[in-house]
Amino acid sequence: MLRISRPDRILYYLLTVLISISYTCLRFTMNVEFNWATWKMLYDLTAAIPYGNRILVPLLSRPLVALGSDIRGAYMFWETVSGILLVYGLYNVFRLYMDEKWSRIFSLLFFLFLPMAFLLQFKYHILYPNDTPAMAFTVLALFLALKERWKLLVLLVAVATLNRESSVLIPLIFAAMYADKMGTKRFLLILASLSVAYIIVRLGIMELTRDNPHPYGGEMAFTYANKNSWRVNSNIAGLIYNPMNPFILLATVDFTPFFIIMLRKRIPEHIMNLALVCGVYVFMLFFIGNIFEPRILGEVLAIAYVMVCLGTFSYLNETALSAPNNTLRSEAPTPLAPVAALVQRYGWYALLIAGASGITLLNVLGVKFFFR
C-alpha cells in the first residue's frame, strides 16, 4: 500500500482549509438572506419558524461577536469550520473502505459537487448558516454508525438537532444499516436512544422559540394554509407543469441517482440501503419543504456522494468492498431480518402508495379539516 509522506499530509490539510475558505467566500458572495430569517433575526433567535428553530450556529456565534466580530463574519467562520468537518467526516468514512490516497481525493472532490446545489443562481439561492453543518453532521453520523460508537452517535444527534431538524436522518441511517444485523433488543435500544435524544432536543427548541412568528400557518410549516393549498401540491405541480423542473431537480443533486443505479452492484449492501433513506427523506420534503430550493437536499447529496464514491472505487479497482465491522459482516439470521428484507424489496412501492394516499387524503379532507 502506498504510504503518504508528511509533506503530502500537510498539503492535504492546507488544501482542506483553503478550499473550505474559498467555498465560504463563494457562498457569502453569491447567496442572499431571506427576509423572514435574516442573519440578524437568526442570531437574535427571533426568525420565523421553522428557520428560528435552527439555533446552533447563532448560539456558537455569540462568543465571536462578543470578541468583536460582526454576525456575518461569525457565520463565515462557522461555515469554514463546517466545511473542514465535512471533509474530515468524508475522509474517515472512506478510510473504512479504501486506502489513504483515495480517501483524501474523494473527500476533497465533494466540493466540486456543491455548486450545483448551493451556488447556482436559482430562484431560491438563499444562504442559511445551518446548511453546511447539516451535511457535516450527517457524514459524521454515518462514520460513527459504521464504527459502532453509539454513545457518541446519540450525543451527535442532540447537537445536530440544535442545528436543524433534518437530523431525523441519523436514526434512519442507523435503522437502514443495522435492522437485519442486530438482535432485536439491542437494535431497538439504540434506535430508541437516538429517537429520544432527537425528540427531547426538538421539544426544548420549540419551547424556546414558541413566540416566534409562524408565517406558513401550520405549527411545523406543513402547508401554505393562508393560500388554502397544500405545499405538496405546489411541489408536484411545479414538476408536472414545467417540463424542465424534473431535470433541474436531478441536476441539483449532481445526477447522483443515475450513478447510484449504474453502480448499484458495486456499492456495499449496507450502504445501498441508504438509498431508501434518501427516498423517504425526499418524500418528506415534498410535504414540508420547497423542493425547488436546492439547499434542502444537501444531506441527501452528501449520502449519495458517499454511495457513488464507494461504487466508483470498487468499479475502478475491480474489488468488492467489505463491511467495516463484525456486526455488518455477520451472516447470522436475526429476528428483524425478514422485516428488513420486506422493506428492502417493497420499500419503494410502499413509499409510492403512501405518497399517493397521503396526497389524496389531504385534498379530499381539505386544509380546513386540519386547521380548524
What are the structural domain ranges in the chain?
Answer: 6-370
Better-predicted residue by pLDDT, 36 or 21: 21
| Low-confidence winner among 54-58, 227-231, 254-258, 324-328 (lowest mean pLDDT) | 227-231
Residues 6+ apart with CB under 8 A from 270: 176, 177, 178, 181, 323, 328
Answer whether residue 364 shows pLDDT above 80.
Answer: no
Cβ(102)–Cβ(94) under 8 Å? yes
Q: 107-116, 156-165, 255-264, 287-296: which range is least confident on average?
A: 287-296
Contact between residue 294 and residue 116 where contact means Cβ atoms under 8 Å apart: yes
Residue 228 pLDDT level (bands cut at 50, 70, 90): low
Residue 117 pLDDT class (50, 70, 90 cuts): confident
**Angle, in degrees to the nearest 10, between helices 131-147 and 298-317:** 50
pLDDT score, position 85 = 98
Q: Which residue has the cell 433575526?
A: 41
Report how far residue 325's alpha carbon sits from residue 162's, in angstroms, rounded to the nearest whole number.
30
Report the alpha-carbon distance of residue 362 to residue 234 in Å, rounded. Answer: 13
Residue 370 clears pLDDT 60, i.e. is over it: no
Residue 252 has pLDDT above 50, yes or no: yes
Residue 88's pLDDT band (cuts 50, 70, 90)? very high
Report the pLDDT averaged over residues 209-229.
64
Query: Predicted confidence band at 287 (pLDDT cuts at 50, 70, 90)?
Result: confident
- The pTM assigned to this predicted structure is 0.92
pLDDT higher than 70, residue 243: yes
- pLDDT exceeds cutoff 80 at 260: yes
pLDDT at position 119: 81
pLDDT tops 60 at residue 108: yes
pLDDT (average), residues 89-97 = 97
Question: Beta partners for 224?
Answer: 229
**How is residue 237 written as a grid cell?**
405541480
Residue 2: its pLDDT value, please?
54
Judge whether residue 339 has pLDDT over 70. yes
Residue 230, all three cell numbers: 397544500
Q: Across all residues in the chain, what is the average pLDDT?
A: 89
